[in-house]
Amino acid sequence: MSANPKTVKRGYIRPLDLKHGKVEMAHGGGGRAMAQLIDELFQLAFDNPWLRQANDQALLTRPEGRIVMATDSHVVAPLFFRGGDIGSLSVHGTINDVATSGARPLWLSAGFILEEGFPLADLKRIVDSMAAAAKAAGVPIVTGDTKVVERGKGDGVFINTTGVGVVPDGIEISGDRARPGDRILVSGFLGDHGVAIMSLRENLSFSTSIQSDSAALHELIAAMIAAAPGIHCLRDPTRGGLAATLNEIARQSGVGMTIREDDIPVREEVDAACELLGLDPLYVANEGKVVAVCPPESAERLLAAMRAHPLGQDAAIIGEVVADEHAFVQMQTSFGGRRNVDWISGEQLPRIC
């Protein structure tokens, strides 16, 4: 009679040196070293029944309702920043992509591309942070993959996460549903993540207390939907910031938008950092904010529900959807002037003077 595989001792000669060790090509080679990395790091940190099966896939019970799936690759530099790291970011980002459909996120996958020579201690820090983020969100990481690339061919760690969730019946949230008259809301201060990251970039160290806003938004979104089931659009304004998100929704829905500069929440520190660098906070990335478009009659109710949640306490109604065949996003400046808020061209580059 063969032994139960779950009780078989792995028998690695010595444990992974998570303090001083480095990622080696063998960690992605499919042999014992890779098995050990998975056992002693990923499996241990992400532990759940699906992973414990140790298959190449997770066997999941089909949930009721429409299934939502989203994937995102994370290549952030630096890997660690105030308010988070690439690990928690990779969990939050994908949960948010699933949740902005109105879905309840159920499972995540995690794919790692590691660069040869990357310190195992840093990898452990990232993996622990991912595990903590997934646990806090109640969304387990049920399957994964690890590859190692030669030194110089990666940037330390890249992480791809895919998320699956289900949308309750009756919820119809999509970027093409904005209608003239709808109100536009944001869940809080814009630009925190982008400024926190920029302040740590090489050649650009400036002192700021700004933390990344990286957070999983599914519970806030669930509260929003409970208060206003008729929400038309939800989106998290990540790369490209609020400006890109509004332009995307405007184009998808074939409508215009008018926002009011005075009503858009931006922290003074973020405003100041942007001023210094010649950037516009409307284009700076966020990782824990959501933009909502809803019918006018439910706007106040939605706003109250957002403000009642810790992640939405600084929420604001920032503008309206208007009829416009050009699908322009325009802003009423605090001066009473009007200007376009266009897509960004390439990346924002700092001005000379």
Partner 1 sequence: MKYVDEFRDGKVARNLARTIAAEVQPERRYHLMEFCGGHTHAISRYGLRDLLPPEVRFIHGPGCPVCVLPVGRIDSAIELARDHGAILCSYGDPLRVPASGRMSLLRAKAEGADIRMVYSSADALKIARENPDREVVFFAIGFETTTPPTAVALRQARAEGLKNFSVFVNHVLTPSAIQNILESPEVRELGTVPLDGFIGPSHVSTIIGSRPYEFFAEEFQKPVVIAGFEPLDVLQSVLMLVRQLNEGRAEVENQFSRAVTREGNLKAQALVAEIFELRDRFEWRGLGEVPYSALRIRDAYRDFDAEVRFELPYRSVPDHKACECGAILRGLKQPQECKVFGTVCTPDNPLGSCMVSAEGACAAYYTYGQFTKITAVAEAS
Binding site for partner 1 (CB under 8 A): 180-181, 203-204, 256, 258, 260, 262, 268, 271-272, 275, 278, 280, 319-324, 326, 328, 330, 332-340, 342, 345-346, 349-353
- Minimum distance between the CB of residue 303 and partner 1, rounded to whole angstroms? 14
- Minimum distance between the CB of residue 236 and partner 1, rounded to whole angstroms? 24
Give 123 or 178: the residue with its C-beta nearer to partner 1.
178
- Minimum distance between the CB of residue 230 and partner 1, rounded to whole angstroms? 19
Q: DSSP state, 288? A: S
Q: What amino acid is encoded at 142 in this protein? A: V
SS3 of 119, please? strand
Give 313 or 334: the residue with its C-beta nearer to partner 1.
334
Question: CA dist 256 to 187, 259, 302, 329, Å?
Answer: 21, 10, 22, 6
Give 145 or 269: the residue with its C-beta nearer to partner 1.
269
What gap in Å lies between CA 329 and CA 339, rounded to an integer? Answer: 9
| Contacts of 11 by beta carbon, 8 Å cutoff, 6+ apart | none
Tokens representing 194?
Answer: 């982008």
Give 77 or 349: the residue with its C-beta nearer to partner 1.
349
Give 308 or 323: the residue with its C-beta nearer to partner 1.
323
Compute the radius of gyration of the chain from its Cα atoms. 22
What gap in Å lies between CA 131 and CA 134, rounded to an integer? Answer: 5
Give 115 or 182: the residue with its C-beta nearer to partner 1.
182
Give 97 or 320: the residue with its C-beta nearer to partner 1.
320
Give 72 or 320: the residue with its C-beta nearer to partner 1.
320
33 contacts 136 by C-beta, under 8 angstroms: no
| Contacts of 172 by beta carbon, 8 Å cutoff, 6+ apart | 102
Question: CA dist 14 to 8, 23, 57, 90, 153, Å?
Answer: 17, 16, 28, 31, 29
- Minimum distance between the CB of residue 25 and partner 1, rounded to whole angstroms? 25
- Minimum distance between the CB of residue 52 and partner 1, rounded to whole angstroms? 45
Tokens representing 349?
Answer: 């580059």
231 contacts 293 by C-beta, under 8 angstroms: yes
- Minimum distance between the CB of residue 338 and partner 1, rounded to whole angstroms? 5
Q: DSSP state, 343? A: P
144 contacts 46 by C-beta, under 8 angstroms: yes
What gap in Å lies between CA 29 and CA 25, rounded to an integer? Answer: 6
Q: What amino acid is encoded at 57 in this protein? A: Q
Q: At what angle do helices 218-227 and 86-99 cross, to 10 degrees?
A: 20
- Minimum distance between the CB of residue 281 and partner 1, rounded to whole angstroms? 12
Give 253 or 330: the residue with its C-beta nearer to partner 1.
330
- Minimum distance between the CB of residue 239 and partner 1, rounded to whole angstroms? 16
- Minimum distance between the CB of residue 198 and partner 1, rounded to whole angstroms? 11
